Amino acid sequence: MYGKAIRLSRLMHLESNKICIVPIDHGTTLGPIEGIKDYLTTVWKLISGGVDAIVVQKGILREISRYPELTSKGRFIMHLSVSTSLSPDPNHKVLVSSVKEAMILGADGVSVHINLGTSSEKEMIKDLGIVSRECMAWGMPLMAMMYCKKSGKNADEIAHAARLAEELGADIVKVDYPGSIEDFKKIIAGVRIPVVIAGGEYLNNQEELLNIIDSVILAGASGVAIGRNVFQHCMPEVITNVITRLVHGEVNLHNSLSMIEISSNMAQDFSTLVKSS
């Protein structure tokens, strides 16, 4: 277990013991969508913004490994499961890699996506058990991405999903925000492993996003795992920096909103200057 403890210490912020994760593994499911077409540039922006960990698939991690300026500063969680939006059953995630392969590629952790309440639930739960056993053997941290597909954001079902992840050996569990702080507290009351909140669909509302992050952190969340609301932002490095500092308690909600506003105004002024020159 020494290896797992060492790798977890690299992922979790030393002082806050929380984590800001940005998944950019969406290419396997949705293709080269906006924000991750040039994924190397995006990775650099996320690292520049101070992100604690980035979730990627193995081919992307292999490409990133060619660039020491990225690998020396970044921390990477390799995602092991996948489905595509082209499938007749897009909720059925299948394993496409292993913990051993993640070790070979230099990952700091691995993640698996489980969709509960689907016809393929039992296969995905079985896969989670297999990966958990491999993580124990290799000393690799495991994040379980647990989603409830029947009710979506029912707090009792999300609490069940989080508990399932812990009981099967996950070190971190990622779940949907149930919609209220009271319901979120039900979820973290039933587990002892870190709970991080998923970013969900693109909001196009920075104030709402930061309000949710601030609320869940104050309520006891161990961090966030936000993809599209970060990498599809007009300034990924800025929103990454703001969210990361908010998660770690380095800024409050008011300051974080001010930082976004100032950065947006500067970006607009720069754009106007370029167009007029």
Q: How many CB atoms lie within 10 A of CB 198?
A: 18
Give the separation between CA 103 and CA 100, rounded to whole angstroms. 5
> What is the pTM assigned to this prediction?
0.94
Rg of the Cα trace of the chain? 18
What type of residue is 222?
S
Residue 155: phi, psi to the nearest 5? -60, -40
Q: Which of 18, 127, 147, 214 is catalytic?
A: 147
User: Which helix (H) or strand (E) covers residue 53, if one does?
Assistant: strand 53-56
Q: Which of 25, 108, 176, 214 is catalytic?
A: 25
Write out the residue range of the structural domain in which residue 29 sits.
2-276
Q: Is 147 a catalytic residue?
A: yes
**pLDDT, one tens digit for every residue, the chain (277 residues):** 689 999 999 999 999 999 999 999 999 999 999 999 999 999 999 999 999 999 999 999 999 999 999 999 999 999 999 999 999 999 999 999 999 999 999 999 999 999 999 999 999 999 999 999 999 999 999 999 999 998 778 999 999 999 999 999 999 999 999 999 999 999 999 999 999 999 888 877 888 999 999 999 999 999 999 999 999 999 999 999 999 999 999 999 989 988 888 876 655 543 444 355 5
When divided into structural domains, the chain yields a total of 1
Model pLDDT for residues 74-84, shown as the tens digit of each residue = 999 999 999 99
CATH number at residue 19: 3.20.20.70
Q: Which of 174, 176, 177, 214 is catalytic?
A: 174
What are 15's two structure tokens? 């002082």
Q: How many CB atoms lie within 10 A of CB 122?
A: 9
